[in-house]
Homo-oligomer: A and B are copies of this chain.
Amino acid sequence: MQKPGSQVMVTLRQMIGSGELTAGERLVETAIAERLGVSRMPVRTAFRELESEGLLVRAGVRGYMVRHFSYNDIVDAVEVRGVLEGLAVRQLGERGLDQGTKKQLRGCLVEGDRLLAKGHLDEGDAEAYHSMNVCFHETIVAASGNAAVATALTRNDHLPFASVKAMTINTSEMEREFRRLSYAHMQHHAIVDALEAGQAARAEALMREHAAAVIRYTDLLQSADPAPKT
């Protein structure tokens, strides 16, 4: 608890994510403050922060409400992530890979190969793949050296389901998930191949396709709402 005020933030995030605060619901500072057992002040700052992250929107002239996410919002955000990570990987390819980055990326590849080598997914494998995946994407963005991409991605990733970190694995259909991750990991291989060959434009195209694949070949409908976006 290095930052006491951030506790309110994570609690509100959870309440929004879990649906305890439903979309469109009017949020009153005093009510939330009382509910969380704190003063109105941290709630006030948290509301503004969550607004800047896009999770809350102003409810008219007074108060905030939980933002309503449509399916299109998620698709759009993933598309944005695709072009941003595509830019990052292209610039990385243009500048060339340094030894540390190359080592890191290859480490991600062998880790993924190891997880998928069995031909099926076990329980802990999903989490391990997820960690590897986050590491792969973060390494590329960091190595690109483009700070604007990093900040834009951070902002964009505040939207639920748009982030690499938010990639969920459907444990009830492990076979299908195995095929999906196998395809995704082949794309990882192709991206690293392109990077090592200095094919920056190809790496960019692959990364954009890689992001789009998440949407096209994942069941988002379970949690997404097809209502019109706000």
Contacts and interface: CB of A to CB of B under 8 A. Distances in A.
Which of A49, A76, A148, A156 counts the most B-chain CB atoms under 10 A from its CB?
Answer: A148
Categorize the interface residue count of chain A. 20 to 34
Contacts of A152: 80, 84, 152, 155-156
Contacts of A159: 148
Contacts of A44: 45
Nearest to A74: B148
A86 interface: yes
Nearest to A150: B76
A147 B84 contact: no
A6 B116 CA distance: 54
Contacts of A87: 79-80, 83
A200 interface: no
B49 A148 contact: no
A168 interface: no
Given A87-B79, A146-B76, A155 B151 contact: yes
Contacts of A149: 76, 79-80
Given A87-B79, A152-B152, A156-B152, A147 B45 contact: no
B52 A52 contact: yes
Interface string A44-65: 1100110010100000000000
Which of A45, A52, A159 counts the most B-chain CB atoms under 10 A from its CB?
Answer: A52
